[in-house]
Amino acid sequence: MLGKMHAWVQANRDRLGAIGLTFALVWLWVTFVLMCVSLLAIKDGNGGSDFLGMLYEESLPHPLKALFGGSSPGESFLWAFLGLCVAAPLVEEGFRAGLCELCETKEGGLRYHFLLLAGSCLGFGLLHGGGYFSILIQGSLGLGLGLLWFRLRRNADGTLIRKRWPYLANVAVHAAYNFCVLGIQILVLRSHM
pLDDT tens column, 86-98? 999 999 888 888 8
Per-residue confidence at 148, pLDDT binned at 50, 70, 90?
confident
Neighbours of 112 (CB within 10 A): 14
Higher pLDDT, 49 or 149: 149
Q: CA-to-CA distance for 74 and 95, rounded, in angstroms?
A: 30
pTM for this model (two decimals): 0.77
Q: Which of 167, 158, 154 is nearest to 95 (CA)?
A: 167
Q: What pLDDT score was predicted for residue 122?
A: 82
- Beta-ladder partners of 160: 154
Percent of the chain with pLDDT over 70: 77
